[in-house]
Structures are given as C-alpha cells and as structure tokens.
Amino acid sequence: MGKRLLATVLVLSVAAAVFSGCSGNKGDDKQIVLRLAETHPADYPTTKGDMEFARLVEERSNGRIKVEVYHSKQLGEEKAAIEQVQFGAIDLTRVSIAPLTEFVKELIALQLPYVYRNGDHMWKVLEGPIGEDMLKKVEAGKFVGLCYYDPGSRSFYNSKKEVKSVDDLKGMKIRVMESKMMIDMINALGASPTPMPYGEVYSAIQTGVIDGAENNWPSYDSSSHFEVAKYYTTDGHLRVPEILIMSKLVFDKLSSKDQKLIRQAAKDSVAVQKKLWADKEKESEAKVVAAGSKITRLDDAEIAKFQAKMEPLYKQYAEFADLMEKIKNTK
Ligand code: GTR
C-alpha cells in the first residue's frame, strides 16, 4: 500500500473511532481515545512533549482519556494533518505554526524573521498576552490552541557551497515550509523558494531538485539532512513556534471538566519539552559537526545584513506592523 493511501485509510478508521468515542455525550464516565499526529520520530524532544501531554491526560483522568501519539508522520505530513484536524478526523496535532498560517493568517506575526531577539524573548511573547491571544485566534480556523513548544532557531543549509554572507544565497533553490510568507521571505533574500512537505526534503536535496533548506539543529540532525547538505550557516533568521492544536469539533463535544483537564495537561507538558529541547540542540550540533558538517558562524554585523534584506517583507506584511512593534517592545 502506498504511503499516502495508508495515511488515508488510517485517517478514515481514526474518524470512526473518534466519533464513537465522543458521540456527543458530555458524561464524564465515557472512555475517550484521542489521536495526535506528529511529524517527528519518537525520540525527538517535541514528540516527547506530546507524550508527556498524553501521560498527564491519562493520569489525571484516571485512565479514562487516552491520547495516542502517532509520530513519524504516520497520519500524514503537517498540512494534511491540519486539514484532518479541522474537520475532526484527527483529534490533535503538533505542528509548526508555518503551515497553520495558511488557515489562521494572524499567526504570521509570530513567525516573521528576526521578530524575536532570542529564545527568552520569544517565550516572554508566547507566554504573555500576545501568545495567549493568538491561541484564542486559532479558534476561528476551527482549532483549539493548547500550548506552544520550543522551536529553536532556524538557519540555512545547502549541498553546494559555504554561505558566508546573504549575497551567497542569491539564486539558490531553497525549500521552505508550506506558508506563503516563507516563500516571500526567500524571494526577499534573492534566492528561489520551493515549498515542500518536510518528508520530501532529503531526497529533493540528494537528487538536486533543490540546493538546500533551513531548519534548527535537532531537525537538521534527525531528518539526516546533514548527510546531503553539509554547509550550515548560523544566520538564525527564524523562530517559528511549534503549537499543539485540537479539533474544535471534537473539543466542543467534551465536558467542560475534560476540556479544562486537556488545556492544563498541555500547558504542564511544556516544561518537559523545553528542557529536552535545550539538551537536544547541543547534542545535535555536536553530532553534525562530528559527522563532517561545515558550520559557518556569522557575527552580528553579517546577521544584520540578512535582517536588512527582510525590509521589503516587513513592508509586504505591514498589516502586522503594530503587532510586530508590540512583540519587539515585550521585555
Ligand atoms: C521542524 C518542525 C516541524 C516542521 C519542520 C519543517 O523544525 O518541528 O514541525 O515544520 O521543521 O521544516 O517542515
């Protein structure tokens, strides 16, 4: 059976299970099974965050609510998973907000390049009023925003040459996540964007369909992209928050007590993901260096040139200028 077909079959059987599980009954004695789609493998820190969420839900409901984590894209790539969550065939998914911006446009403000000074600044924003407000905004897309996970910082890598300055990116074919803003960002840098699901990137680099991509250390490592694209440049252009969302259709069928339990379990799983993330970032960096990746470390002056190239992008997304200002002013 083809991978896509298998995913579809899984999704359909999942839909059947979910609806028999919740079936509009708001009673608190019912056994509930929820499926969560995750793109990363089981040993990835973000997947372990999902698993911590699942553990807390099960423990706090005395085993009545079970969250099954389908890692490694078993339920499909992120964009497809989001669509399935939207109509309730999959109950939950953990995704990057990048593909979710195609469903909830306001989220773009949280993924603009260089919008955060560093990881601490990003967490101040996500855990403050702006982040909370954005979690509510995703409801318009028929999702319930539960929590954010640490995405680290993303940088460019490629199979062709060392990128020492932003001008070296000119004309390179770079894969981006499936979000219009990501395409616009690559154009602003003078490179050529190719949107593509995460799972297709390795072979696209290997066969020369694209020259490179961009990601954080753990993804560059766990996807094995470092094997086919050894030039990594630490420009840190993006921090794209990871988000855990639930289908609003499914959520609305739960009792308010269960809704609260799920929301709280998600919030309480964040600390575990953050801690594992910080460890994995260091571990992955060391691993790819040992494996022969050529790391080009940029100084602040060089990074400022990358940022300057984003000016047309900020203008293009001027509707988010106020929010961007608020983000910048978050201390
Ligand atoms: C990873 C992220 C995934 C996915 C992937 C990608 O860092 O955790 O959710 O967005 O990047 O580049 O598609």
Domains of the chain with CATH codes: 3-149+241-280 (3.40.190.170), 154-239+287-328 (3.40.190.170)
Q: Which residues contact 141 (CB under 8 A, 6 or more apart)?
A: 86, 100, 103, 104
User: Which residue, by CA, sits nearest to atom 3 of ligand 1?
Assistant: 96
pLDDT tens, position by position, for the chain (331 residues)?
444 444 444 444 444 444 444 444 455 678 999 999 999 999 999 999 999 999 999 999 999 999 999 999 999 999 999 999 999 999 999 999 999 999 999 999 999 999 999 999 999 999 999 999 999 999 999 999 999 999 999 999 999 999 999 999 999 999 999 999 999 999 999 999 999 999 999 999 999 999 999 999 999 999 999 999 999 999 999 999 999 999 999 999 999 999 999 999 999 999 999 999 999 999 999 999 999 999 999 999 999 999 999 999 999 999 999 999 999 999 9
Q: Taking the CB of residue 61, how many other CB atoms lie within 10 A of it?
A: 19
Ligand 1 closest atom vs CA 98:
10
Euclidean distance between the first and the last CA atom of the chain, given in angstroms as a whole number = 52
> How far is the centre of ligand 1, averaged over its atoms, from the C-alpha of 96 (Å)?
6
> How far is the centre of ligand 1, averaged over its atoms, from the C-alpha of 139 (Å)?
22
* Amino acid identity, position 89: A
> How far is the centre of ligand 1, averaged over its atoms, from the C-alpha of 36 (Å)?
16
Enumerate residues lining ligand 1, CB below 6 A: 39, 46, 78, 95-96, 98, 177, 198, 215-216, 219, 242
User: Which residue, by CA, sits nearest to atom 1 of ligand 1?
Assistant: 219
pTM equals 0.92
